[in-house]
Structure 1
Amino acid sequence: MPRSVRSNILITGASSGLGAGMAREFAARGRNLALCARRLDQLETLREELVAANPGIRVAIHSLDVTDHDAVFRTFRSFASGLGQIDRVVVNAGLGKGASLGTGRFAANRETAETNFVAALAQCEAAMELFREQNSGHLVVISSVAALRGARRAQTVYAATKAGLSTLAEGVRMDVVGTPIRVSAIHPGYIRTAINEKVAGVPFIVDAETGCRALARAIEREPATAYVPGWPWRLIAPLYRIAPAALLRKIV
């Protein structure tokens, strides 16, 4: 049976970076959007851009700090009420703060853990409440290739949260097997955004437009899991899992 079009798509962390890039890609496909992030001014600017470039689509926006868990549930329900239904939720909001454990940066590491996993859990809960009521929907979590292995320095907690998020998505997927609800864990490789624009020597990095186009294509396929861009990450991922830690330490 052909997969139905996901007409109304909710994206968190949508004011910039991958979230804004995915919004542009889905808007170009004629989808209605529900966009939320902390920075309302940037969401307003993005909405104006999207509606001007894609007449006929609806773009709803809402200021949201995903660590305010009650607000996550209220915002998702508000979007669903305004658009009639939410067909896809992209759990994208996240942080990359942190440092090696034991170096006095617990606050930053905790903030990353709370945003990337606990807040993501709240988003998944809120999305799944809607989808179970509708008996349809597509939950997408934006994980990372960092989920494949542990990492050092600023990436230690980040990688751990992404591994947890990928496992969470797998558990939700197992829970709804045989229903019209789909669950995807998408693992981006290195995509150039404001967060990493000053970092040199990142392997296999692609520009934001290329990366977001690949993300949208992967999400539209609704796979259980995907590495993005497919080349070279579909090849690298299995090797990454078994590479000696000493080798990984030199490149991540």
Structure 2
Amino acid sequence: MSRGTILITGASSGLGAEMARQFAALGYDLGLCARRTERLDELRARILADHPDRVVSVKQLDVVDDAAVFTVFDEFAAEFGTIDRVIVNAGLGKGAPLGTGQHRANRETAVVNFLAALAQSEAALTIFRAQGRGHLVMISSISGLRGMPRTLTTYAATKAGVAALAEGVRAEAIPGVDVSVIYPGYIRSEMNDRVKHQPKFLVDTETGVRAMVAAIEKRRTDAYVPSWPWVPLGFALRILPLPIVRRLV
């Protein structure tokens, strides 16, 4: 018997794909969406090979298309009958120091990471309000705890915005709706594989996502993952002077 239905955006690779695999292993049915449908099809085939009793539905979605977000979320809800959890995971890591002529890259990151997350939250909460229950999960980042320098400036700002958006929803206390914000530390994914200088404390995808999934399953309000070293470092990042923060990241 299924433990419920989870909708994951940006599920074709990286953290999203690994979350799909791990939640399927826990017994969940899945609605997976992303721009790259060929990868979604491959992921679905692998999951069903390992867990033939699961139901996995895949749909193409570009999260910057607001109308498509609402349509696809509603299609999943109609197909499954209910959506128990939505994980707003789709994201982009482009960026450059402000004022260096790379506004297009920074704007693209802002649109995908924040404006698209707003649309996904709207679509999810429309479903949850109608159902009377649901779990909204926002994937933020440790980088969102403070303003970050250079190429991380816009990315960090969008992830701070995502966390603030979730906190506002939580403050509304919608009956039956839980809201979690996950702050991943440095977890290997396609987003950081292209980085020349790998960040400190980088963990492999499976290990990092296992910590994310555990926090989501506990419906944690806020979770820094993996807990070591990101719980103490997360606390430190919030209070340390910016010159020290620069050295930590």
Give distance in 2, aligned partners of 1:79 and 1:227: 29
- 1:171 and 2:168 equivalent? yes
**For each residue in 1:34-75, what CA deviation from the matched residue of structure 2 results, as whole angstroms up to 9, or x when unmatched?**
000000000000000001101110000000000000000000
- Structure 2 unaligned segments of length 5 or more: list them: none
Q: Displacement of 1:251 after TM fit?
A: 3.5
Give distance in 2, aligned partners of 1:124 and 1:225: 17
Give distance in 1, aligned partners of 2:3 and 2:67: 26
Give distance in 2, aligned partners of 1:219 and 1:128: 17
Indicate if the aligned counterparts of 2:192 and 2:198 stay in contact, CA closer than 8 A: no
- 1:193 and 2:193 equivalent? no
Matched letter for residue 136 of structure 1: R
Q: Displacement of 1:250 after TM fit?
A: 2.6
Matched letter for residue 43 of structure 1: L
- 1:214 and 2:211 equivalent? yes
- 1:182 and 2:158 equivalent? no
Where in structure 2 are the equivalents of 1:86-235 lying within 5 Å? 86-176=83-173, 179-199=175-195, 200-235=197-232
> Match of 1:43?
40
Give distance in 2, aligned partners of 1:203 and 1:59: 35
> Match of 1:84?
81
Between the two proteins, the alignment pairs up a number of residues equal to: 247
Indicate if the aligned counterparts of 1:191 and 1:206 stay in contact, CA closer than 8 A: yes
Q: Displacement of 1:223 after TM fit?
A: 1.2
Distance of aligned partners of 1:37 and 1:201 in 2 relative to their CA distance in 1, 3 Å threshold: closer
> Please, what is the CA RMSD of the aligned residues?
1.1
Give distance in 2, aligned partners of 1:76 and 1:233: 32
- Structure 1 unaligned segments of length 5 or more: list them: none
- 1:236 and 2:233 equivalent? yes
Indicate if the aligned counterparts of 2:140 and 2:183 stay in contact, CA closer than 8 A: yes
Distance of aligned partners of 1:6 and 1:163 in 2 relative to their CA distance in 1, 3 Å threshold: farther
Matched letter for residue 164 of structure 1: G
After the TM superposition, which parts of structure 1 deviate over 4 Å for at least 4 consecutive aligned residues?
none
**For each residue in 1:176-230, what CA deviation from the matched residue of structure 2 results, as whole angstroms up to 9, or x when unmatched?**
25x2110001100000112212433411111000011111111000011111111
